[in-house]
Every structure is written in C-alpha cells, then in structure tokens.
Amino acid sequence: MNDIICKQKSERDFLLLEWMRSYLPKDIITQVEQTMRASPDRITSAYEELLSGYGERIDDHLSVAATYDQGSYKGYVSALKIPFSSFCMHHLLPYSGTVDVVYRPNELILGLGKIARIIGTLSKRFQIQEHLAKEIAEGMDCLTKGCGTFVSISAVHCCVCNRGPLAHGSTNVVTYATGELAEVKSQAQLANVMIGK
Ligand SMILES: [Zn+2]
C-alpha cells in the first residue's frame, strides 16, 4: 500500500508538468523536469500546505477563555493585524495581508489565539476576499454565540498587482459586520473608532 501511495505522490508533479507543456517553451519544460526529479512532489506538497484549510473545521478551534451571565459583558474584544495568506478563487493566484476582528461577546469569550486559528483555517482555501470576510464574521458568531462581529481584511492581490491592471503595491480593503455591529451606520467609522486607525 505504501508503495502505491509513494508512486502516486511521486507522479503528482509530473501530471502538473503535462498541463504546463501546453504553454511553456520546450527548453523551460526540460529545466523544470530536471528540478522535479530531485524532489518529485515539492510543488504539490506546497499546494497541500497552502490549501490545508479544506482538511480543517473552524469548530476545531473552539476554546473558551471566560464565561459570563448572558448579556453581562458590556465591552468588545478585538484581535488585530493577524497575518494571513489565501488564494483568489477567480485566478487561483495568492493574496495576503492582515485581518482585524472585533466582536461583542454575549456569554463566552474565545481564546485569543483561536481567532488567528479560525482565520488560518478559512483563508487556506480558494476564497474571494469578500467571502473570506463574511465567513470569518459568521464563523466567529457561530462559535461565540455573541452579539456581533466586525471584520476588516487588508490584502495585496497577485492577480491585481502582477497581471491585468499591474497595480503594483495596491491594497484592497474589505469589511463585513454582523449583529449589533452591522447596525452601525458607517462601517468605515466603526473601523476608525474601534480599531484605532
Ligand atoms: Zn484574482
């Protein structure tokens, strides 16, 4: 069985190479092939790691740091500038940046490190930035059963900076809010006030 798995694993990058033959010059294909022989699953292993979120669930990260009587916690909790990387679902190219999360607890407070874990699970998938923000906010609500979540994602996209518009260094910011935090008239104002930008 292990031999079969090893054989499949060793062939994966060469299957990828077959696809690349359709548009890469022959001499480049030869060079790529030579580097693949030294480590025949390097590329596909890298993609497995970058897309590892498909093998995880956000409730794997449920860890309660504190509990309160319902509605008795009157403040907000934030986790800011959490680095992430993901893949644009439109172009299958990477984008990366930081995520700011603010939520209003109800009965429980999530372990702070778990917020970064949730972002890691949801971002290591093919995602458009807008949907990633929505999934993080709704995932936080689901785990904390809180009163609302505000998410702001700032990212630099390979598909915007390195092809097409060639807008090198440009940043895309997306926000999403739920519950009480969605009732705030201006989400931009919420970002400025609550995140201190
Ligand atoms: Zn894209």
* Residue boundaries of the structural domains of the chain: 2-50, 60-195
What is the distance in A from the centroid of ligand 1 to the CA of 110?
Answer: 32
pLDDT of residue 1: 40
What is the distance in A from the centroid of ligand 1 to the CA of 119?
Answer: 19
Confidence check: pLDDT of 128 > 80: yes
pLDDT of residue 4: 46
What is the distance in A from the centroid of ligand 1 to the CA of 52?
Answer: 20
What is the distance in A from the centroid of ligand 1 to the CA of 187?
Answer: 24
28-37 tens-digit pLDDT: 888 888 888 8
pLDDT of residue 103: 92
What is the distance in A from the centroid of ligand 1 to the CA of 96?
Answer: 12
What is the distance in A from the centroid of ligand 1 to the CA of 88?
Answer: 5
Share of residues in the chain with pLDDT > 70 (%)? 87
Query: What average pLDDT does the chain have?
Result: 86
**pTM summary value:** 0.83
Confidence check: pLDDT of 75 > 70: yes
- Is the Cα torsion angle 46, 51, 57, 60 positive or negative in sign? positive
Q: Does domain 60-195 have CATH number 3.30.1130.10?
A: yes
Give the orientation angle of helix 112-123 with respect to helix 129-144, to 10 degrees.
140
What is the distance in A from the centroid of ligand 1 to the CA of 117?
Answer: 24
pLDDT of residue 5: 46
What is the distance in A from the centroid of ligand 1 to the CA of 169?
Answer: 15
The pLDDT of 92-118, averaged and rounded, is 93
